[in-house]
């Protein structure tokens, strides 16, 4: 396939859908923005796309909990279509609020008989945080992160603290290769302010067991152009922003 097609799934309150579409177009894909209601009415529309993106924002105002209302919609109306999408060896990306929705919908870490194995809760600071962070990648079998060692990208959230129900669950996710992104300070495990929310194990991003569904709290779509970095005039203009490779990897996955 020469040019993959990307569906950016909007919901009331989403505010990073334009940036996500731009990032994929910059990486060589075709990208459409569709409202959740349109896909709910006709889930077969997913068949026209190779990548699904659930972007950042404040879906449904985050009135219940961040991403929870969107997660319920995904669970109850699109669960079968999303599983088929993944099983067809297509890719799913959830960023920030989208990560919250994918995790709470059980699309990254399925629940067991006792409920969710992990969630994303309030930042340790108790407030919304907006800063640039360093990420250390362990790509494993995640196509989005092929060849990525580190990324410098912004975060912007109030509920981004990764919490596993039990310590053994976090260890199991790491051992199975699902913990693919961690907050880092010069490549070392870190705490605040480098870990901006207090996430257990410095977890910044997870993939599912197949590697084809990725969720992360930081915003790679906000560092696609080198001029998006606030210090580009001091540090020098790079050829591209750190986040662009993630989107290019997704495009190249379907061009091989």
Q: pLDDT tens, 197-220? A: 999 999 999 999 999 999 999 999
pLDDT at position 192 over 70: no
What pLDDT is stored for residue 113 in this prediction?
94
**In the predicted structure, residue 22 carries a pLDDT above the cut 60:** yes
Annotated active-site residue in 96, 142, 207, 223: 96
Phi (first) and psi of residue 25, to 5 degrees: -65, -40
Name the nearest CA neighbour of 206 among 129, 104, 87, 64.
Answer: 104
Catalytic residue among 207, 221, 223, 229: 221
6-13 mean pLDDT: 97
Whether the per-residue pLDDT at 133 is higher than 80: the answer is yes
**Which tokens belong to 214?**
């990725």
Res. 127: pLDDT tops 70: yes
Q: In this prediction, what percent of the chain has a pLDDT beyond 70? A: 97
Confidence of residue 157 (pLDDT cuts 50, 70, 90): very high
Token pair 């399925």 in the structure block, residue: 110
Checking if the pLDDT of 51 tops 80, the result is: yes
Q: What is the pLDDT of residue 256?
A: 77
Q: What is the mean pLDDT of residues 116-130?
A: 95
Instruction: Locate the domains of the chain by residue range.
Output: 5-253
pLDDT at residue number 3: 94
Question: In the predicted model, what is the mean pLDDT of residues 174-181?
Answer: 97
54 closest CA partner among 90, 88, 19, 101? 101
Q: What is the arithmetic mean of pLDDT over 41-67?
A: 95
* CATH fold label, 5-253: Rossmann fold (3.40.50)
pLDDT of residue 185: 80
Whether residue 91 contacts residue 253, with contact meaning beta carbons closer than 8 Å, is answered with yes
Question: What's the average model confidence in pLDDT over 27-37?
Answer: 97
pLDDT band at 191 (very low <50, low <70, confident <90, very high): low
Q: In the predicted model, is pLDDT for residue 193 greater than 80?
A: no
How far, in Å, CA of 188 to CA of 77, rounded? 42
186 DSSP assignment: T
| CB count in 10 Å sphere of residue 18 | 15
Q: What percent of the chain has pLDDT over 90?
A: 93
pLDDT at site 72: 96
Residue 219 appears among annotated catalytic residues: yes
Q: What is the pLDDT of residues 67-111, one digit of tens each?
A: 999 999 999 999 999 999 999 999 999 999 999 999 999 999 999
57 DSSP 8-state letter: B
96 included as an active-site residue: yes
Neighbours of 48 (CB within 10 A): 9
Q: Which of 142, 157, 219, 229 is catalytic?
A: 219
Task: Name the pTM for this structure.
Answer: 0.96
Core vs surface per residue 109-124: b (16+ CB within 10 A) or e: beeeeeebbbbbbbbe
Mean pLDDT of the chain: 95
């Amino acid at each position: 396939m020469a040019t993959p097609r990307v569906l950016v799934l909007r919901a009331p309150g989403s505010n990073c859908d334009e940036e996500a579409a731009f990032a994929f177009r910059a990486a060589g894909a075709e990208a459409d923005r569709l409202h959740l209601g349109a896909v709910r009415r006709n889930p077969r529309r997913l068949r026209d796309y190779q990548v699904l993106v659930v972007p950042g924002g404040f879906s449904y105002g985050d009135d219940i909990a961040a991403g929870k209302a969107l997660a319920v919609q995904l669970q109850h109306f699109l669960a079968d279509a999303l599983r088929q999408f993944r099983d067809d060896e297509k890719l799913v990306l959830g960023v920030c609020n989208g990560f919250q929705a994918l995790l709470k919908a059980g699309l990254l870490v399925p629940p067991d008989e006792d409920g969710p194995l992990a969630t994303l809760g309030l930042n340790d600071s108790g407030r919304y945080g907006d800063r640039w962070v360093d990420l250390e990648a362990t790509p494993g079998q995640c196509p989005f992160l092929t060849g990525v060692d580190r990324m410098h990208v912004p975060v912007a959230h109030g509920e981004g603290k990764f919490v596993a129900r039990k310590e053994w669950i976090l260890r199991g996710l790491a051992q199975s290769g699902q913990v693919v992104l961690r907050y880092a300070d010069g490549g070392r495990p870190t705490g605040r302010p480098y870990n901006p929310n207090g996430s257990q194990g410095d977890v910044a991003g997870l993939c599912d067991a197949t590697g084809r569904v990725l969720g992360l709290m930081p915003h790679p779509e906000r560092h696609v152009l080198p001029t998006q970095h606030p210090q580009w005039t001091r540090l020098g203009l790079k050829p591209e922003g750190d986040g662009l490779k993630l989107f290019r990897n997704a495009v190249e996955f379907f061009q091989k």
